[in-house]
Structure 1
Amino acid sequence: MTNPFNSIGIPLEPPPTQPPICKKCKRASEYFITRRSNRNGNAGRPCYKCLPCDNFLVFCDRRGNDPENPKCHCGYSSKRQITGRSKSVPGRVHYVCRLGECDFYSPSRDENGQDNVIAGELADKLSRLSFI
């Protein structure tokens, strides 16, 4: 079970309550559970995906749903995530629409404007704490 509070005790925002509509083909997405073999720290996470487009929309859990995250184009707080091992910059922290409704994407940057990147073992520990 994921932690329902952020690091300072504020309740995390809820996940989508219904399948989001795919931004590519405008069809309803379908509910899935990620494979146990997922090596990006997402094993067993519920998510929504559009089958006709093979388009991943959003994880539908509270992990990364901090109310202090930036607001997405929908006006709701976003979901904090981290890029997987197969991406050009593994471990890059970023924000996406937590409801899967809009195309919001914003990299997390430090005070010098550099992308926040988290290394493997630390990323695994933070994912277990529901931070990312």
Structure 2
Amino acid sequence: MPTICYKCFSTSIQEHITSRSNRNGNAGRPFLKCQSCTKFLGFTDERGNCPDNPPCDCGEPSKTQLVGLGLGKRVPRGVFFVCRRAECNYYAELVNEEGDQVRATEVVEELLAGLRIF
């Protein structure tokens, strides 16, 4: 069954690969993008998939990801969850006991990416 864009409901979805020069830790990762509205829908690899993640709006376990760097600065990155199948617009931040978004340092991020957790 084809993936339907959760923004414009088009079925014109195409898989792409992030460039090798991607500096957000996503170099070479496959992802889906809607050709009609150009919305990034999500990564299609197994990185960040865990059966213990909270369920998304589709009822499936979500995918763990990190907020992009933004503004070219190396800053701590926030951990969040999205639909692992790129079929809904689910988004939830991982928060600590104080209600603040959990952040990963660059070293931890590289370690977790190497383990294919994020």
Unaligned runs of 5+ in 2: none
Question: 1:110 maps to what in 2?
Answer: 96
The answer for the alignment partner of 2:19 in structure 1 is 35
1:91 to 59, 77, 92: 77
Percent identity of paired positions between Structure 1 and Structure 2: 45
Structure 1 segment 44-59 matched on structure 2, within 5 A:
44-59=28-43
Question: TM-score by structure 2 length?
Answer: 0.89
Q: Deviations 1:47-75 (Å, cap 9, x if unpaired)?
A: 10112212100100111110000001110
Which runs of 5 or more structure 1 residues have no equivalent in the other structure?
1-17
1:76 aligned to which of 57, 60, 82: 60
Ranges of 4+ aligned residues in structure 1 off by more than 3 Å? none
Counterpart of 2:69 in structure 1: which amino acid? R
Change (3 A) 1:19 1:129: farther
**1:19 Cα offset (Å):** 4.9
- Deviation of 1:106 after TM superposition, in Å, equals 0.3
Per-residue CA deviations over 1:69-98 (Å, capped at 9, x if unaligned) read 0001110000000011117x7510000010
1:124 aligns with 2:110: yes
CA deviation after TM superposition for structure 1 residue 35, in Å: 0.5
Q: How high is the TM-score relative to the length of structure 1?
A: 0.80
For 1:86 and 1:27, locate their aligned partners in 2 and report how far apart those are by CA, in whole Å: 29
Q: Which residue of 2 aligns with 1:20?
A: 3
Amino acid at match of 2:3: P
RMSD: 1.6
State how many pairs are aligned: 114
8 Å CA contact 1:20, 1:57 repeated in 2: no
Residue identity matched to 2:97: E
Specify the code of the residue in structure 2 equivalent to 1:71.
P
Amino acid at match of 1:24: K
